[in-house]
A and B are shown apart, each in its own frame.
Chain A
Amino acid sequence: MSAQPPMASPTGFDELLMHAHAGDNYLSGPVRAHYQMISQWLREADVDTLRARREEAELLFRRVGITFAVYGDDDGTERTIPFDIVPRIFPAKEWETLQKGLRQRVQALNCFLHDVYHQQHILKTNILAPEQILQNTQYRPEMQGIDVPLDIYAHIAGIDIVRATHGDEEGAFFVLEDNLRVPSGVSYMIENRKMMMRLFPELFAKHRIAPVEHYPDLLLDTLTQMAPSEKRYSNVVVLTPGVYNSAYFEHAFLAQQMGVELVEGQDLFVEDDVVYMRTTQGPRQVDVIYRRVDDDFLDPEAFREDSTLGPAGLMRAYCAGNVTICNAVGTGIADDKSIYPHVPDMIRFYLSEEPILYNVPTYSCRDPKALSHVLANLADLVVKEVHGAGGYGMLIGPTASKNEIEAFRQQLKANPANYIAQPTLALSTCPTFVGAGVAPRHIDLRPFVLSGQEIRLVSGGLTRVALKEGSLIVNSSQGGGTKDTWILE
């Protein structure tokens, strides 16, 4: 009944080099075919020029206002996420495999969500115990039996992918996390591309790189398909917590690119189970809400009473079928870390297919056997809270001090079901421009998968990079940066 842990741990993989070499110069070894051109460019480029370009990028990001507020910073300083000028590259064939795997995974996750909130077939198998779902705080009983358009719950999914060598398979794709609530970062995918085209147009002339800028178009089309009733024109809006949210730039960016209103909770009200927005010409009905507000804050009547981020009565309107919320309420039950180990079995169960992408071997600490193994090997494992995000509330055994490990041990013992553990995964490395030149740094990838009448994704994603040498944490809140991601055609 518990997930099947540990196969052999995956090992390191470099995106650029064919094999690790001992030389001082990272770029001097044999290079993979799809990195030939970039590698040559990096060898020939002068460090000062590259540094100047990176500074130019920082200035441009500020002018465009691609900044985020840092929680707890009162002085209102806004920061930019560091941008690395060396792109991360996929050959067409690798991307083909990856996107097939992503489609398969997201399709299964949507089947799972529909099943959980309707017949619950999966709870009658030995894949998942009913209490794992029904007692999970991410399960929303309000959604039980509610029909949503096209039976789709996760319209926008951001699946975190890392690469590592797995047995004979070099650079195999592992899913680190499924983000099915309000995944962010897609604006950086688009802005990073714009920045690269502006800074290094010559590179684009030499490569055939798949474009990504049509993402907002696909998103709008997906959202429009979700309108509750056939109308000539559906009113789609983006719901943001407001200008102080760290992802505010992205909310404004997507609303602008789609040409729809960016609304806050105070702009909406519900009357007779219909949602309206307040305009200069009076109330106007809203059909689809692309919400970037968590479930808990969506409706003070249904969830947290103190929330002003969503209008009172939204859930009534939603359950009455007068408005569609994207992503649906209750998707958190499918991307919860305690559910993650079971996704491969979901794929087998709902699609009768073998999973294309690997899961990272995972110990569910709710299982006593797994727990004792984890407690005995804390120094070698990464332990995460099942509901945690953003790189907080986790233990990275190999880099933690003895005291930190002991403190974490107590927390873990007190509430084992709240944790999962994974071997420290050797995230792949990619050439990155650092102060002194180009050096390998660990990266991950978040592609964005859109589910409507069909499942679509643009050829690209957001590559995050841990800028500190040896670091495995790519989160922007903890010293991570981003890169442009190229899919070669």
Chain B
Amino acid sequence: MLSRTADHLYWMSRYTERAENTARMLDVSYQMSLLPQSDQAATAAWRAMLEISELSEDFATKYSAVTPANVLSFMTQDMDNPSSIMQCLRAARENARAVRGAMTTDLWETVNTTWLDAQRQVGQGLLKIAPTAFFEWVKFRSHQTRGVHIGTMMRDEVYHFIALGTFVERADNIARLLDVKFLAAKEHTGDTLAHVEEFYFWAAILRSLSAFENYRKVYRNVITPERVAELLILRWQNPRSLAACLVQVVDLLHKVRNSQSGATELEARSILAELRDLEIHEILERGVHEYLTAFIARISVLSANISHNFLLPLEPESDLTA
């Protein structure tokens, strides 16, 4: 497959996954903002949304105050924000369009229709009337895109690079979400958190990652931060855990390996091995924030190496002789 084709496919699925995760995070923030809480806590939660995506500065250049309406608008439909849901859906579609011949008609039409329908919905003001409905819709379009990918595509390099984009992006997004939420839990709630509030706080995070029922199934017990962390970081059986993402990344890198990707594959294996060896109390002792910061940095290096090994044009000299 052409390196450029692989690049477009990889980014198509990264943007699709990013749109979905942003919708998930906004949805949980929006729903939590409807619960009784102090103004300070509410503002902090919205500010945290921006921090997750490292967008606080960009936001500040356009908006004067962190209000729910401003953050929602910036994160969903602002075309100046390269990480807004609409920009992600557009970028996914543009990447798909650049290599539409490489995928099944079903997959192309799904990605294209998502973008066309999203424009229509935003045009009709759905975001203002029913933001939750819009976030749900984004999430389900992402499910559908993934389903069409799995259900129609040949199991070849094209398939693998699309999947690779999904899991690299998901690992990054989940780590960022957990980082911000655990920091928020520490700073703004701390030990004074009443049991009921704590329940809603952690339940909302689980729901935002479709892991509430999974939690109940695994632990059959009250919701505690330790168990939430374990389920979302270490439990590879939970498809939206860091470990589950890394299992996929390792497998996919093995399938697409070329003459220069050995070190990248090894690094992915090493990240996964650590996730397998660690116990949750070790992570808590080290500090969740410290652990996740290091994890996000490693994923970022891994991602750069994937680009270098497969996606950027290979140097002719280095390979003709190989």
B108, B256, B319: the one within 8 Å of A283 (CB) = B319
Minimum C-beta distance from B156 to chain A (A): 11
Q: Is the CB of A278 within 8 A of B101?
A: no
Minimum C-beta distance from B233 to chain A (A): 31
Complex Cα distance A455/B10, Å? Answer: 41
Task: List B residues 294-322 near A (Cβ within 8 Å).
Answer: 310-311, 313-314, 316, 319-320, 322
Q: Which residues of A contact B322 (CB under 8 A)?
A: 282
Q: Which 5 A-B pairs have the closest CB atoms?
A: A256-B101, A282-B319, A278-B313, A252-B101, A255-B101
Q: Which residues of B contact A256 (CB under 8 A)?
A: 100-102
Task: Check if B227 is an interface residue, CB within 8 A of chain A.
Answer: no
Q: Is the CB of A276 within 8 A of B98?
A: no
Chain A residues packing against B (C-beta within 8 Å): 62-65, 242-243, 252-253, 255-256, 261-264, 266-267, 269, 271, 276-283
Scoring B residues 249 to 269 as 1 if CB is less than 8 Å from chain A, else 0, what string do you get? 000000010110000000000
Task: List B residues 82-111 near A (Cβ within 8 Å).
Answer: 94, 97-102, 105, 108-109
Q: Is the CB of B112 within 8 A of A278?
A: no
Of the listed stretches B1-9, B35-43, B140-148, B202-210, name the one at the interface; the rest are far from the partner chain. B1-9
| Residue in B closest to A276 when the chains form the complex, CB atoms | B316
Q: Which residues of A contact B6 (CB under 8 A)?
A: 280
Complex Cα distance A282/B1, Å? Answer: 9
Complex Cα distance A279/B3, Å? Answer: 5
| Residue in B closest to A272 when the chains form the complex, CB atoms | B320
A242, A243, A263: the one within 8 Å of B2 (CB) = A263
Q: Is the CB of B112 within 8 A of A280?
A: no
Task: List B residues 29-84 near A (Cβ within 8 Å).
Answer: none
Given contacts A243-B98, A253-B101, contact A278 B314 (CB under 8 A): yes
Q: Which residues of B contact A243 (CB under 8 A)?
A: 94, 97-98
Complex Cα distance A64/B104, Å? Answer: 12
Q: Is the CB of B2 within 8 A of A282?
A: no
Complex Cα distance A64/B97, Å? Answer: 10
Minimum C-beta distance from A413 to chain B (A): 47
Q: Is the CB of B97 within 8 A of A63?
A: no
Q: Which residues of A contact B157 (CB under 8 A)?
A: 280
Q: Is the CB of B116 within 8 A of A278?
A: no
Minimum C-beta distance from B248 to chain A (A): 18
- The interface size bin for chain B is 20 to 34
Task: List B residues 225-279 near A (Cβ within 8 Å).
Answer: 256, 258-259
Task: Check if B152 is an interface residue, CB within 8 A of chain A.
Answer: no
8 residue pairs bridging A and B, Cβ less than 8 Å apart: A63-B112, A243-B94, A261-B5, A264-B4, A266-B313, A267-B3, A280-B310, A282-B320
Q: Which residues of A contact B316 (CB under 8 A)?
A: 269, 271, 276, 283
Complex Cα distance A252/B98, Å? Answer: 8
Q: Which residues of B contact A261 (CB under 8 A)?
A: 1-2, 5
B4, B116, B258, B311: the one within 8 Å of A62 (CB) = B116
Given contacts A256-B101, A279-B3, A280-B161, 7 further A-B contacts (CB under 8 A): A63-B116, A262-B99, A262-B102, A269-B316, A278-B313, A279-B2, A281-B258
Q: Which residues of A contact B311 (CB under 8 A)?
A: 280
Quick one: which of B98, B100, B105, B320 has the most chain A CB within 10 A? Answer: B100
Minimum C-beta distance from A394 to chain B (A): 33
Complex Cα distance A104/B165, Å? Answer: 53
Q: Is the CB of B113 within 8 A of A280?
A: no
| Residue in B closest to A261 when the chains form the complex, CB atoms | B2
Q: Which residues of B contact A266 (CB under 8 A)?
A: 4, 313
Complex Cα distance A63/B106, Å? Answer: 11
Minimum C-beta distance from A215 to chain B (A): 16
Complex Cα distance A15/B175, Å? Answer: 67
Q: Which residues of B contact A255 (CB under 8 A)?
A: 101
Q: Which residues of A contact B97 (CB under 8 A)?
A: 65, 243, 252
Minimum C-beta distance from B56 to chain A (A): 29
B98, B100, B109, B258: the one within 8 Å of A280 (CB) = B258
Minimum C-beta distance from A405 to chain B (A): 43
